[in-house]
Structure 1
Amino acid sequence: MASASVVVGEAEAHSHSHNKLTLYSYWKSSCSFRVRIALNFKGLKYDYKPVNLLKGEQSHPEFLQLNPVGFVPVLVDGPVVISDSFAILMYLEDKYPQQPLLPTDIHKRAINFQAVSIVSSSIQPLHNLNLLKYIEGKVGPDEKLPWVQSVIRKGFTALEKLLKEHTGRYATGDEVFMADIFLAPQLHAAVKRFNIDMNEFPTLSRLHDTYHEIAAFREALPENQPDATG
């Protein structure tokens, strides 16, 4: 796998660790996108290691040593190896407390965790690459998009209802928190890849527009990654 060094974020990390973070990522992966946003937001420098999912690099023995499940992202911090975007974000939150990703208010934290769960359990896994390949093989290629759209609409309907009373500038107030970091990639995929009509979801649509105003989000966009292709 090729390596490209990525320097992102507007602030230097105030860390006692001298380890350089390494992120194994695929440009189109929304789970990797979440971690890229968090790293940027916290001002952490990292090396970017592309893993081409379409070429099956996630199944290579050297990658399976890092993550036996064969999914991106994987974060390496010295001797520490973490896979799963939520676990990575919680690790970053604990180790690099600058620009916190979780509010101190316990109710607001719960709303963040709820939004995170809807995206990571009820939407994204139901349209990942493996499942879409399975649908294509068993049912046919024409069934992929309607399936994805129905999954996203159901999840977005729940998110719209959940967040309606809690949004400020961002999902749960006027600061970026973990809900935003999970929402932004899912919204980007819905609009750019799956042709979701966002008029049905005014709160989410406004958030989608707002995220593009933040440098940490823009720098994490799939098309801005070293392994991006047309």
Structure 2
Amino acid sequence: MPAILRYRDDCIDPVLYTYFRSSCSWRVRIALAWKGIEYESQYVNLVKDGGQQEDYSTINPMKQVPALVMNGSTMTQSVAMLEYLEEVHPEKPLLPKDPLERVKVREIVSVISGGIQPLQNLSVLQKIGDEGKMEWGKFWIDKGFQGKFI
């Protein structure tokens, strides 16, 4: 992993600031791959330094991943990135055509991005401490997936 991040707002190709264990980063990488969009990866080691690299805070002041620099703009929330990618690259859609099926996909996205992932991500688990983090994370993951989506 590179020691120093480079802020690339002048490039033509997209740059994704990412971390290999981040589920938010995974969803963006999957969408970019599905849509056939080539990009450069810049790695942010959240465990080693918690995204505290000084130059990364200029890219994402919340020091979270992912961040996507594309078409001269920096995006910092994965669901918003997915919506943007869908709008600017409608070929190979991420969502089904049927409106009710689209609602179901959006429900699942909302549960994961708003009800599961934020409550069991690295920064929250670090605040909880080693003793209770597994029980805490499992509780919120289980609760989120108890809903009937299909």
Shift in Å, 1:19:
2.2
Question: SS in structure 2 opposite 1:142?
Answer: coil
The equivalent of 2:7 in structure 1 is none
Q: Would you say 1:144 and 2:133 are equivalent positions? A: yes
Question: SS in structure 1 opposite 2:51?
Answer: helix
Answer yes or no: is the 8 Å Cα contact 1:119–1:155 preserved in 2: yes
Q: State how 1:157-176 maps to structure 2 within 5 Å.
A: 157-158=146-147, 161-163=148-150
Question: SS in structure 2 opposite 1:61?
Answer: coil
Indicate the RMSD between aligned Cα atoms, in angstroms.
Answer: 1.7
Looking at secondary structure, tell me which structure has more helix per residue: 1
**Structure 1 moving runs of 4+ over 2 Å:** none
Q: Would you say 1:75 and 2:75 are equivalent positions? A: no
Per-residue Cα deviation, 1:4-55 (whole angstroms, up to 9, x for no partner):
xxxxxxxxxxxxxx92111000000010000010011001111011000112
Find the structure with the greater CA-based Rg: 1
Q: State how 1:88-167 maps to structure 2 within 5 Å.
A: 88-136=81-129, 141-158=130-147, 161-163=148-150
CA distance in 1, matches of 2:2, 2:85: 25
Structure 2 unmatched runs, 5+: 4-10
Identity within the alignment, % = 41
Equivalenced residue count is: 143
The equivalent of 2:55 in structure 1 is 62
CA distance in 2, matches of 1:76, 1:117: 24
Q: Would you say 1:2 and 2:2 are equivalent positions? A: yes
Answer yes or no: is the 8 Å Cα contact 1:25–1:72 preserved in 2: yes
Per-residue Cα deviation, 1:86-120 (whole angstroms, up to 9, x for no partner):
01111111111121012232222111111100001
TM-score by length of 2: 0.89
Answer yes or no: is the 8 Å Cα contact 1:57–1:63 preserved in 2: no
Question: SS in structure 1 opposite 2:48?
Answer: coil
Q: 1:96 to 1:118 in 2, by over 3 A?
A: same
CA distance in 1, matches of 2:47, 2:144: 26
TM-score by length of 1: 0.59
Question: SS in structure 1 opposite 2:75?
Answer: strand
Structure 1 unmatched runs, 5+: 4-17, 164-230
Shift in Å, 1:57:
5.6
The amino acid across from 2:52 in the alignment is S
CA distance in 2, matches of 1:54, 1:126: 17
The amino acid across from 1:63 in the alignment is Y
